Amino acid sequence: MSISFESVAAKYLTSKKLSSGTCKEYRGTVTKWTAWGKGVDVDEIGRVHLRDFLDWVHEKAAADGGSNAGRTANKSRENMRAILSWAWEQDFLEKLPRFPMPKPQRDVAGRHYLTKADLNALYFATYELERPRGWKQSLTVGHYWRAALVVFFNYGVDTGTVFHTAAFHEPILWRHIFWRPEPPNGQGKESRYGWLYYRRVKTKKQFYRPMNRVVKVHLKSLQSEGVELDEPVFDCGTSRPNAQFQRLCALAGVKPKQDVETGEEKLWVLKDLRKTCATYYDEHMPESSIEILGHSVGGVTYRHYAHRDPLAFKAIMSLPQPTAFTALVHGFDGECPCCRRRFHQA
């Protein structure tokens, strides 16, 4: 029984929990396949069809004035490969076709992460944050931002996991922090500094992560007597945390990121801290960011047989921290850990 590629792609998107933006990209590839007009049933797709289709996508992108036609074709190649791999796993086709080599492309992402010098400056700048209007917390807003920077750097969590800015976000609550060394889910070895639980906003996947010394000290600094277990841990003092983060960048003197192709300057957002986390984990321990950030990965062996928790545990417990993050660990709250200079609000 023959089945069209469009039907298989629709089944693929229904079966996967993908973001709206990712689904839009896949549908764009399906639209290109339909517009190409030479498509065959999914069980008859071969290397020749894929090569001709990707050549057509490349030529059309170039004819339409695209500045990076190779990247457009390679994106369609990735989407086609994902759909056909899933179709092969579901027995819609007997053999996965060989894919042609990727097209040459120009990488124009530029620097997409903050350096450790930037992170140090951001940490120190939290002492200069003004008291928000109507602020009723016993701690300053800088206390929460310092702890938030540490959590973002060590776990690469989503913005909504730290700052509850939308109704569907599930923020970290005090009952999600376990100070005992035993793993809450009963798996893995003990962590001397305790454990942290959170759930990804996009996939709803649950994580039980060990806390290292820096994370524990900063979370402990936010805990007050009589705190309710169902209260959120973090409070950024505003309903627009990205705007507050950009003000923090201005105070720290962190320059906006720049597109190397257009020269356009763009403001940093909290999602860039997730990219920063991935960059430093891969630099410290290759491939560890896949498990730390909860990215979906290909390969049956990797998904079903490879046990990645020990790698994540080792990476979190040994990740080198920015110098400023260790100030509180050594008891220098409000002082630079290297020169002991006091900051504006200390």
Region of poorest pLDDT, from 80-84, 97-101, 287-291, 339-343: 339-343
Tens digits of per-residue pLDDT, 192-238?
999 999 998 888 888 999 999 999 999 999 998 888 899 999 998 88
Mean pLDDT of the 240-251 span: 94
- Round to whole Å and give the CA distance between 132 and 237: 6
Q: What is the torsion angle, in degrees rounded to the nearest 10, for the CA atoms of residue 14, residue 20, residue 22 and residue 25?
A: 90
pTM across the whole model: 0.67
- Round to whole Å and give the CA distance between 102 and 79: 13
The ranges assigned to domains in the chain are 5-89, 116-326
CATH fold of 116-326 reads hpI Integrase; Chain A (1.10.443)
Task: Give the number of other Cβ atoms within 10 Å of residue 130's Cβ.
Answer: 13
**Those residues with Cβ within 8 angstroms of residue 132's Cβ, 6 or more apart along the chain or in another chain:** 141, 237, 238
